[in-house]
Amino acid sequence: MGGIPAQPAFRLLFAARSVSSLGDRLVPVALAFAVLNLTGSATSLGAVLAAQTIPLVLFVLVGGVWADRLPRRRVMVSSDLVRAGSQGLCAALLLTGSAHLWEIVVLQAVYGAARAFFDPAALSLIPQTVNADQLQRANSLLVLTDNVASIAGPSIAGVIVAAAEPGWGLAFDAVTFLVSVGLVYAMPPIAAQVRERATLVHELRHGWSAFRARRWLWITVSCFTLYIGFAWAPWQVLGPDVARTHLGGPGAWAAIAVALGVGSVAGGVIALRARPRHPFRLTFAMFVVVTPLMFGLMAAHAPVWLIVPVAVLDGMSGTVFNTFWFTALHSDVPAGELARVMSWDYFGSVAVLPLGQALAGPMAAAVGASATLYGAAALTMILFGAGLCVPAVRNFSPPAVTPPPADSEAVLLSGGG
């Protein structure tokens, strides 16, 4: 049970995701300084970030349909190639000094749209690459790698920005997508179920029906939709300013961010071995207690040394939950509709995030940053407390996963997909 699962398909998928994740974690820092160097405007940076997010929201449900329709590796390869092109062209424009804001906006929109197709395909491919008894370990390793990248990526980006040009960070991201293409292309054949084609609208409805039929699933996603949009978003927007004005400066926010990252890595290690019968009880309870405490301490302008250990616990709880969550989805949702169901989950995670980010500033201006963060803490307690009271969530226990069939009803995929 130790180490990375031995199946060659998973090892290649793991390597592809790891490389790509590191590149993606460079982008927020590199892109931010690239846009600020180009325009000097935070509003312009907001437009670029929105250009990434809006296509992701608009197309992720369609991406889930296509990931269930087509060979998932083919979808992943196509998406990686598109993102390599968009980031590579963006880097070239920046490094040659010929970039215009509208060009960066368009290229980042292309990036966001391609990601909307990649993520459902990649997430739903995991159960087809490992044995059933290794599914949680596989998810834990992938989440752990993402968390390590979330610490290493910004650090590398900071070095690149300080020593060279921000455009090199985007160039690095483009190269990681090409490496990912090679690794995904090299994966051995994977059995895919054949199913009858239908219209896009019909398949979207089918995915919604499968999503809605699982009470534990839609209730949890509903909790997180509201939490991410109206509690986590205000924390993201207001936290840096509170740290700057009341906690000693940007270094305080950096310390809190690092603490969240360290906790995330620790949570990934814990999730490698944890096998709770009811996986959501502990994590929901931590969301009820730990996350509101972190928000409340920030609102109260508590000392950084007091906020940091709570942030470690919060990062830990988030990673443990994500591992249990993906394992539950992979265990409970049939392979043939997994990508569509996961796309509804993904949609719920990002649907109201831009709205929450946009409202955080005006809300803080109206009632104060502290009151807004206290409100975020209260909302978090109410949402996850209510979720914990639902038997379908509290008592959920994932069934055993059955390996995908490799009989006459399956098609072996070779080459790039």
One digit per residue, the tens of pLDDT, for the chain of length 417 reads: 456 666 778 888 888 888 888 887 778 778 877 887 888 765 676 677 778 878 888 888 887 777 777 778 888 889 999 999 999 999 999 999 888 989 999 999 999 899 888 888 887 777 777 777 777 777 777 777 777 777 777 777 777 777 778 889 889 889 999 999 998 888 876 655 545 566 767 777 777 888 888 898 899 999 999 998 899 888 877 887 788 788 887 677 778 877 887 888 888 888 777 777 888 888 899 999 999 999 999 999 999 899 999 999 998 998 888 888 888 887 888 777 777 787 788 788 777 877 787 777 788 888 988 999 999 999 999 999 999 999 989 988 877 544 444 333 333 333 333
Contacts of 71 (CB under 8 A, 6+ apart): 190, 192, 413, 417
Place of tokens 């409970």: 332
Chain Cα centroid distance, residue 329: 15
Residue type, 413: L
Residue type, 115: R
**Length, in residues, of the chain:** 417
Helix ranges (DSSP H) in 213-352: 215-227, 233-246, 250-271, 280-299, 304-332, 338-350
* Structural contact between residues 290 and 314, judged by C-beta atoms closer than 8 angstroms: yes
What does the alpha-carbon distance between residue 201 and residue 222 come to, in Å, rounded to a whole number?
Answer: 22
Task: Give 95-98 contacts, CB < 8 A, sequence gap 24+.
Answer: 95/165, 95/167, 95/168, 95/171
Instruction: Please check whether residue 2 lies inside any domain of the structure.
Output: no
Q: Which domain holds residue 259?
A: 8-413
Instruction: Please check whether residue 3 lies inside any domain of the structure.
Output: no
Residue type, 286: M
What does the alpha-carbon distance between residue 211 and residue 199 come to, in Å, rounded to a whole number?
Answer: 18
Gyration radius from the chain CA atoms: 21
Instruction: Please check whether residue 1 lies inside any domain of the structure.
Output: no
In 3-state terms the chain splits into helix, strand, coil percentages (rounded to 5) of 80, 0, 20
Phi, psi of 411 (to 5 degrees): -120, 130
* Structural contact between residues 273 and 323, judged by C-beta atoms closer than 8 angstroms: no
Residue type, 106: V
What does the alpha-carbon distance between residue 215 and residue 349 come to, in Å, rounded to a whole number?
Answer: 17
Residue 333, token pair as written in the block: 């949702």
Q: What is the pLDDT of residue 411?
A: 34
Instruction: Please check whether residue 193 lies inside any domain of the structure.
Output: yes
End-to-end distance of the chain based on CA atoms, in angstroms?
29
What does the alpha-carbon distance between residue 151 and residue 25 come to, in Å, rounded to a whole number?
Answer: 8
Instruction: Please check whether residue 354 lies inside any domain of the structure.
Output: yes
Residue 145, token pair as written in the block: 């790698």
CATH of the domain at 208: 1.20.1250.20
Instruction: Please check whether residue 37 lies inside any domain of the structure.
Output: yes
Instruction: Please check whether residue 375 lies inside any domain of the structure.
Output: yes
Q: What is the pLDDT of residue 226?
A: 93
Q: What is the pLDDT of residue 197?
A: 62
Q: What is the pLDDT of residue 404?
A: 44
* Structural contact between residues 283 and 317, judged by C-beta atoms closer than 8 angstroms: yes
Contacts of 257 (CB under 8 A, 6+ apart): none
Number of folded domains that form the chain? 1
Instruction: Please check whether residue 75 lies inside any domain of the structure.
Output: yes
* Structural contact between residues 414 and 187, judged by C-beta atoms closer than 8 angstroms: no
